[in-house]
Amino acid sequence: PEVKKFVAWDYLVFAALFLVCASIGVFFAVKERKKKTSKEFLVGGKQMTCGPIAFSLTSSFMSAVTVLGTPSEVYRYGASFVLFFLSYALVIIFTAELFLPVFYRSGITSTYEYLELRFNKVVRLAATLIYILQTILYTGIVVYAPSLALNQVTGFDLWGSVVATGMVCTFYCTLGGLKAVVWTDAFQMIVMIVGFVTVLVRGTTLNGGPTKVWEDAYEGSRLNIFDFDVDPLRRHTFWTIVIGGTFTWLGIYGVNQSTIQRCISCKSEKHAKLALYLNLLGLWTVLACAVFCGLVMYSHYKSCDPWTADFISAPDQLMPYFVMDIFSSMPGVPGLFVACAFSGTLSTVAASINALATVTFEDLVKKGFPNLSEKMSTWISKGLCILYGVLCTSMAAAASLLGGVVQASLSIHGMCGGPMLGLFTLGIVFPCANWKGATGGLLAGITLAFWAGTGSFIYPAPPTKSIPLPLLTLNCTLANSTEALTTAAPTATPDRPLLADTWYSLSYLYFSAIGCLGCAVTGLLISFMTGPSKGEDIPPVLIKPVCNLFCFWSERLRACLWCGVRHDSPEVDFEKNLPRVVANKTGTDDTSKNSINRENKRQFPGYNPEEKSYTN
């Protein structure tokens, strides 16, 4: 059946959303124009409350990938995706209790700054480069996903819209101000939820109510959620999702620059933790909506699957196709949905480009050319925004080769985020790890994760391990459907290497765990071989004494497991002591650095040198 294209109303709704987003951006750009330097903007703030930050965190990690990918994932593989609610909970608890306190108290603005305080400049540089790589790859997918959808529903040219998205976001970022606009994110979050809910309500009523949808899903074996098979090669089982998913999302959440930067901008550590726990509710809501959309979609197409029947060219187009199908009589609603997919993209891409430009400028350009004038710096930053805009848009071309968007984006996060997670865990949990261990571990983790990841991309897992559930095309009214079905028979793959059916066939959710454990184990081994670092030299702020949880009965055992870090000394009293501690322990270089920091701090509005804090 020919699905309707966009009409004038749809374009109107779509344009309205863009205008609102853009105007919020412009409003803040004008309002904040007094704050000239990036440094003042990052440090002088610390005034955000938990509400907007929670919205913002949810919105930017629930990009178009979630809106389009998750429902089609559930439609094809069943509702086991819902188990991610367990992984999300674990991730938020770890982030809020283990990583956040360390980052917040050490008073840093970039997570990679922590690596320099804890290890040295080499480690920081390596981590920065990996972050840049990860973000460019991921942003490519995020740009490509909604353009694919838009192409399906509106007949709008695919590459035209990829380039358009890239250009709009690059324009935003070069305009500046967007990074500050946590509010745009909050607005987009609401649009996303509204979009999902309208689709759910309409789809459920068309298919005979919730009980009918549930029965259909049950008959189509879409509800076999708890599959306790331990085989790590199976794509989605209880263990792959809960263990693998936790590692993958911890790499995205616990140590990622964009998350931590937002949490650090909260008034107090309590607000930052609250923001994370509120954001967990947001993640659960979006996950539930997406999974139910998938089930409703299955109920709707149970006897005629548009993908196997060749009405659409990729499984990620199922959701937009479904929307155009059920809302064909209601102009304006499909526009809302596409706007919903797009708004996720704009916030993610714009934030990515901005973060990339910031990180490159702070960690690479400034290190190489310390004496740049303000004007020159601004121009370089704008140039970087444009450069990364172009790079991310061209990555979208590569994204078209990667298969399903959910799997592709989580694989990339796993391959780059896992080793980073291992690196920060080494720094925060193990006082004995030294910089040689950190560098070696990072290399080992990256090598392992990329080896498994690229292997699985070149030699995809044998179909028995990731079989989509059966989809029927009985009632499809199309002449060429038979030809389509005969041509789609899988061709026998040529000779596969020895590792193809074991190592390369691992579930994509385990890439992060491999990278993280590889990094931590190698790092500890190398540290012990080259002489572990002495606990007395490490400021206690930089270490989280995890052992206190397990050894609460014995003071001596606890002190022994602290490896010499003075957690019990009176100096631990929060970040105001960090400069002094670092200065005393590591000699002149840091002393001069911290005296400069103190000089700078005095110049920020609201800084009170006596109390060493910002007054509201």
Banded pLDDT at 547 (limits 50, 70, 90): confident
Half-sphere exposure of 140 (CA within 13 A, CB side): 20
Give the pLDDT score at 153: 66
Quote the CA–CA distance of 447 and 431 in Å, as a whole number. 24
Q: Residue 611, Cβ neighbours under 10 Å: how many?
A: 9
Banded pLDDT at 193 (limits 50, 70, 90): confident
Residues 235-260: pLDDT tens digits? 889 999 999 999 999 988 888 887 88
CA distances from 290 to 72, 147, 319, 395, 518 (A): 9, 19, 10, 26, 33
Give the pLDDT score at 350: 75
Percent of the chain with pLDDT over 70: 82
Compute the average pLDDT of residues 445-454.
92
Residue with the bigger pLDDT between 237 and 167: it is 237
Give the pLDDT score at 603: 42
Banded pLDDT at 217 (limits 50, 70, 90): very high
Give the pLDDT score at 88: 94
Give the pLDDT score at 119: 92
Quote the CA–CA distance of 318 and 273 in Å, as a whole number. 37
Give the pLDDT score at 552: 72
Continuous H helices in 400-550: 405-429, 435-458, 481-487, 511-529, 547-550
Residue where the block lists tokens 């529903």: 153
The mean-pLDDT minimum among 7-16, 286-295, 537-546, 576-585 falls in 576-585
Domains of the chain, first to last: 8-367 (1.20.1730.10)
Report residue 48: phi and psi, to 5°: -75, 145
Residues 24-39: pLDDT tens digits? 767 766 776 666 555 5
Has residue 570 got a pLDDT over 70? no
Give the pLDDT score at 36: 57
Compute the average pLDDT of residues 166-195.
70
Evaluate whether 79 touches 300 at the Cβ level (below 8 Å). no
Banded pLDDT at 87 (limits 50, 70, 90): very high
**If DSSP codes are grouped into helix, strand and coil, which group holds residue 432?**
coil
Residues 309-329: pLDDT tens digits? 888 877 888 888 898 888 888
Give the pLDDT score at 485: 45
Mind spelling out the 3-state secondary structure of 8-65?
A: HHHHHHHHHHHHHHHHHHHHHHHHCCCCCCHHHHHHCCCCECHHHHHHHHHHHHCCHH
Give the pLDDT score at 522: 96
Has residue 482 got a pLDDT over 50? no
Residues 261-275: pLDDT tens digits? 788 888 889 999 999
**Closest C-alpha to 241, from 410, 16, 97:** 410
Compute the average pLDDT of residues 388-417.
80
Tokens of 81: 């995706």
Quote the CA–CA distance of 178 and 305 in Å, as a whole number. 41
Give the pLDDT score at 234: 86
Listing DSSP states for 342-360 in one string gives HHHHHHHHHHHHHHHHHHI
Banded pLDDT at 89 (limits 50, 70, 90): very high
Evaluate whether 320 touches 149 at the Cβ level (below 8 Å). yes
Which residues, 6+ apart, have CB-to-CB distance to 112 below 8 Å?
124, 127, 128, 131, 257, 359, 363
Quote the CA–CA distance of 508 and 94 in Å, as a whole number. 22
Specify the DSSP element, H or E, that contains 460: none
Q: Rg (Cα) of the chain, in Å, rounded?
A: 25
Compute the average pLDDT of residues 204-223.
92
Has residue 506 got a pLDDT over 80? yes
Is the pTM higher than 0.85?
Answer: no
Residues 116-137: pLDDT tens digits? 999 999 999 999 999 888 888 8
Has residue 385 got a pLDDT over 50? yes
Rounded to 10 degrees, what is the CA torsion of 365, 367, 368, 372?
70
